[in-house]
Amino acid sequence: MKSLAKITHLDQLTFDNRFIGELPADEEPLNTRRQVFGACYSKVLPTQVAKPHCVAYSYEVADLLDLSDEVCVSNDFTQVFAGNRLANGMESYATCYGGHQFGNWAGQLGDGRAINLGEVINQRSERWTLQLKGAGATPYSRNSDGLAVLRSSVREFLCSEAMYHLGVPTTRALSLTLTGETVVRDMFYDGNPRAELGAVVCRVAPSFTRFGSFQILTARSDTSLLKTLADYTIRTDFPELGEPSTAVYTQWFSEICRRTAEMIVHWQRVGFVHGVMNTDNMSILGLTIDYGPYGWLENYDPNWTPNTTDADIKRYRFGRQPAMAYWNLVQLANALYPLIERVEPLKAGLAVYNDTFEQGWQTMIAAKLGLTVFDETLCSELLALLPLVETDMTIFFRQIALIDSNLELAQSVDHAIEQLADAYYLPEQLTADYRERLNHWLSAYIQTLKQQAVPNEVRREAMNAVNPKYVLRNYLAQLAIDDAEQGNFAKIHELLELLRHPYHEQTDKQQFAAKRPDWARQRAGCSMLSCSS
């Protein structure tokens, strides 16, 4: 196949900016905080910054945009993706949407901290929207300044790319840029704000349209614009469904439900907790979007949430994510009802979510255990066992692949216990009763493996393809942030490279697969986080 020519200057990018070309704009030109009616977006320029410095970029995302390495290390790249210059064809804007926040309708929200630069069409005819997060105030910023700090930007940049390489549907991140300015934030909302380093992340996705993009229009009884936006979205992002019609609207909703279910299955597979599953943070493409106070399960605790705002209610805890995605889809169904005016097709779409998730979850958990067929008894008992003691989810599932099913049963169980020892945070929790129950489960599990008669090597390879060795553990991200705030970006680059190969045994990187250290158990950024940017 002939290799495609790389772009040598950002002004060579091809933009078609279909979103603003086909959808109505806010008529008010001033960038003032306000309610925006009858429009899908407001034109707004990024805020100029003093002394931008590009900390890192993803060469895979650059390749999606046909950008050469020379472009990505140029000063112009830094200036453009800090928001100081619009390349030829860029037309910057912020979008209008609403949403339910923690179960309550919040009205208009919108891109309060994000500014879109336009839609690039690459040489493979793919559409990619470029969006700066932290580039300044928009009409939707409410009481915020629209800026972002380095700590949240590092987390977003690294996690976007880590999730992609884990095989989780996600938005991407092109670049992480320091602004050369400081931003005042109250990290713990405790009345002690401090100045932090400002930063901007360039996010990339086919579309950043959210459930809330449709909700705000239905809430305002703007059915005409609701139809316009739905028709645009179907023609642009779901062209395989055909020309918009009542029947196509129902197919479209079912497809959103299917994609959302598949995304949630992946979250549960790798132990990812989003932390803020509000409807404005749900992508109609079934992509993980808006990396705020997310986290990775260290010990397997279905009740854990990384979000300090949600610490009491735990609405968005790990074990509740599937139900919350369904709840959010119900709100989207309510928003789309004026287009269909029948309940049954929408209920059918929600049933698609339930069926897709249940089938996907069974297939996923069976694959994590190397089972050729889902075994409800085995899987249910394991998920009951794991939270009883502090068990590192990532290490447990990675190590269980090492079981030798060729040994005699008793030997195989003993060998399994040896392999799993490193997954436990507090060995003193392994009481006699717990050990007996674990031994019983391991015996049943190993007998099942023996009956499958799949060679150990084949089973291990399959298990290691779905059970990552490396994830973006909260403490690893925090260590990178600590160094970056002192001007040392080496850990960011090291983690970015590590997380490009999360399923591989990287022999010189074993320290990154270790359990969370004790010092990180309660430290901010390593256990829980706030929504503060």
Measured between alpha carbons, how far is 67 from 202 in angstroms, rounded to an integer?
A: 14
Neighbours of 223 (CB within 10 A): 12
- pLDDT tens digits for 103-140? 999 999 999 999 999 999 999 999 999 999 999 999 99
Rounded distance between C-alpha atoms, residue 399 and residue 404, angstroms: 11
What is the pLDDT, as a whole number, of residue 533?
52
pLDDT at 191 (0 to 100)? 78
Q: Give which of 79, 96, 88 is closest to 33, Cα–Cα.
A: 96
Q: What's the confidence (pLDDT) of residue 532?
A: 57
Report the alpha-carbon distance of residue 173 to residue 161 in Å, rounded.
6
d(CA 61, CA 42): 27
What is the C-alpha to C-alpha distance for residues 411 and 434, in angstroms, rounded to an integer?
A: 19
CA 472 – CA 495 distance, rounded (Å):
8
- 3-state DSSP call for residue 150? helix
Residue 155: pLDDT above 90?
Answer: yes
387: left (phi over 0), alpha (psi -120 to 50) or beta: alpha
pTM of the model: 0.97
| Half-sphere exposure for 372 (CA within 13 Å, toward CB) | 10
Q: Which of 93, 202, 104 is nearest to 139 (CA)?
A: 93
Eight-class DSSP state of 515: P
Provide the 3-class DSSP secondary structure of residue 67: strand
Q: How far apart are CA 135 and CA 313, in angstroms?
A: 32
* Residue range 496-523, pLDDT digits in tens: 999 999 999 999 999 999 999 999 888 8
Active-site annotation holds for 301: no
pLDDT on residue 186: 82
Check whether 158 has a pLDDT greater than 80. Answer: yes
Coil, strand or helix at 105: strand
Separation CA 466–CA 359 (nearest Å): 16
Q: Parallel, antiparallel, or unpaired for β 41-43 and 93-95?
A: antiparallel
Q: Where are the extended beta strands (E) located within 248-376?
A: 272-273, 295-296
| Catalytically annotated residue among 26, 66, 111, 280 | 280
Question: What is residue 2's predicted lDDT score, i.e. its pLDDT?
Answer: 56
Question: Percentage of residues in the chain with pLDDT exceeding 90?
Answer: 95
pLDDT digits (tens, 9 = 90+) for 367-412: 999 999 999 999 999 999 999 999 999 999 999 999 999 999 999 9
Six token digits for residue 402: 């090492």
Tens-place pLDDT, residues 66-88:
999 999 999 999 999 999 999 99
Which strands, in side-by-side order, build the sheet including 53-57? 41-43, 93-95, 114-121, 127-133, 194-205, 172-185, 53-57
Q: Report the Cα 39 to chain-centroid distance in Å.
A: 28
Q: CA 329, 333, 337: angle at the middle one, nearest 5?
A: 175
Rg (CA), the chain: 24
* pLDDT tens-digit series, residues 259-302: 999 999 999 999 999 999 999 999 999 999 999 999 999 999 99
CA distance linking residue 74 with residue 512, whole number of Å? 31
At 299 the three-state DSSP class reads strand
Give the dihedral sign, CA 27/32/37/39: positive
Say which DSSP state 148 is in: -
Number of CB atoms found within 10 A of residue 351's CB: 12
pLDDT digits (tens, 9 = 90+) for 227-256: 999 999 999 999 999 999 999 999 999 999
Chain-centre distance of CA 217, in angstroms? 26
Residue 132 β-bridge partners:
115, 202
Q: What is the mean pLDDT of residues 329-345?
A: 98
Where are the chain's structural domains? 10-211, 222-368, 376-453, 474-520
The arithmetic mean of pLDDT across residues 479-483, rounded, is 97
| Residue labelled with tokens 């010189």 | 508
Is pLDDT at 524 greater than 90 in this prediction? no
Burial of 426 (0-12, 13-18, 19+ CB in 10 A): exposed
CB atoms within 10 A of CB 488: 11
Name the burial class of residue 386, with classes exposed (0-12), middle (13-18) and buried (19+) by CB atoms within 10 angstroms of its CB: buried
- Residue 55: CB atoms within 10 A of its CB come to 20
3-state helix, strand, coil in the chain (%, to 5): 45, 15, 40
* Closest-CA residue to 385 (of 351, 435, 455, 432): 435
pLDDT at 1 (0 to 100): 44
**DSSP-assigned beta bridge partners for residue 149:** 198
Q: Answer whether 378's CB lies under 8 Å from 441's CB.
A: yes
Please report, to the nearest 10 degrees, the dihedral formed by the alpha carbons of residues 281, 284, 286, 292 taken in order.
Answer: -10
